[in-house]
Amino acid sequence: MPEFASRWPDMRRWSIDRIKAALAASSPGIEAFAVRDESREVQIVVQVAPGQIETAVSRNYLVTVECWAATKGAAFDLCADALYALESSPRRGPFVKSEGSSGPNEQRDDDGTYYFDATTTITAQRVA
């Protein structure tokens, strides 16, 4: 049973790759990571959590992007672009659909630095 249960796609890797590919032309040099690198001023941090809704062939994931930039306006734009990259993904591979997005939302870390985050629900199909 563990083998069957583990046949879900790596949605964090998929999300990071999708964001990098979508922003490569418009925003070269912007990186997406699974963990925040505080030495980088501009970055996107991707967090993925499996949702509670699952069928035999699909599973929902909550994908959150945190976007850091030099200014609040730039961070907002980066967050909107990253969310759009996820929501507008071609319907192939593990991606089935995106729905129920929230954001960009203004946040502030412990040091007082502003960033924006957004969350969307992505439905992915089981890996064959």
The pLDDT tens digits for 34-46 are 899 888 889 999 9
Using the predicted structure, report yes or no on whether residue 100 has a pLDDT greater than 70.
Answer: yes
The pLDDT tens digits for 56-92 are 888 999 999 999 998 999 999 999 999 999 998 877 7
The pLDDT value given to residue 5: 54
CA angle 111, 44, 54 (to 5 degrees): 115
3-state secondary structure 6-18: CCCCCHHHHHHHH
Q: From residue 113, how far is each of 31, 66, 82, 106, 127 by CA, in Å?
A: 19, 12, 20, 11, 39
- pTM assigned to the model: 0.86
The pLDDT value given to residue 84: 92
